[in-house]
Amino acid sequence: MKKRPLGRTGLSVSALGLGCMGMSMAYGVRDDAESIKTVHRALELGIDHLDSAELYGDGHNEELLGRALKGRRDKAFLATKFHNGVKNRRNPDGIAETGTAYVKKACETSLARLGMDYIDLYYLHRVDPVNPIEDVVGAMDALRKEGKIRFIGLSEAGAETLRRAAKAAPIAALQTEYSLWSREDAEQTMLPACRELGIAYVAYSPMGRGFLTAQFKAPEALPEKDRRHEHPRFQKEHLAKNAALLPALEAMAAKKKCTPAQLALAWVLHRGNEILPIPGTKRRKWLEENVAALELALTSAEIAELERAFPVGVTSGLRYPEPAMKQLGR
């Protein structure tokens, strides 16, 4: 497995990670047995970067990874996230706490679910709505010094928040959405900020939440119990416009004898060595297909062709429902 640096930490992780959210929520029905086999197969293939969060299935995902990594902890670089003010088992009323005592409580709760004594990369899932970022990352840095976490990350923070955080504590990674159909925020503000600060850029949904597999061209193609039905980009009026973007991707994939998903993933991988994509799956079949994208070479002309087909801002519809959009980029 190829490796890429985790910012300026001196550590390298697998060039491709595994997003584990879909094992517990959002995309169809859970299958714990297959999910655990998928984690084990990822480790066999050299993928050590596994991404979770307390929010995923209200703790189910951390519990699942704890089971999957029992006896294999040394093979994994485990990332998880916490969130102030979201309703979950730790915070049943969903009240945003003033002060940073919740940071340690959240970490200890995640460690208990995971059955582990440390977390490799601990993220603030969304910018704290009531406490200054300096205070929050200061509390995270205290966890780092205590040995409860190894590295600090932010998820979906804005560039100025990232800069403020980096002055207060060592930030190893920023995680935001990045794919051919979600380019604007990443390329215009977040990637430049990460490059400036020497912070790794962890790209989630690098295949556009499955859209770039070219399998979901109408809402009816999505599973019945699937959170994408709530996302504007997958709703009928927007999805019809977005599906019109796919023929160029499909044509190039056919020419290169790969799948559209592999081509979309290869494009993200070619955007810079500081980018760490974490495509999500709960099935070994798709995991192995994703890993094959690492060997897919793209010429500069092919990259330019894809970017002409998916220019910045072309996608129809917001990437999250309106309330969730208000939590991004703060």
**With 0-12 CB in 10 A as exposed, 13-18 as middle and 19+ as buried, what is 255?**
exposed
Q: How many CA atoms lie within 13 A of 64 on its CB side?
A: 30
DSSP 8-state symbol, 117: S
Closest of 269, 209, 214, 268 to residue 233, by C-alpha? 209
118 is an active site residue = no
Distance (Å) of CA 143 to CA 106, 138, 140, 191: 11, 9, 5, 27
Q: 10 Å Cβ neighbour count for 320? A: 17
> Angle at which helices 260-269 and 284-292 pack, to 10 degrees?
50
H-run or E-run covering 174: strand 171-177
> Angle at which helices 284-292 and 32-44 pack, to 10 degrees?
30
H-run or E-run covering 275: strand 275-277
Residue of 56, 122, 123, 178 marked catalytic? 56
Tokens, residue 248: 């160029």
Q: Which residues are catalytic?
A: 56
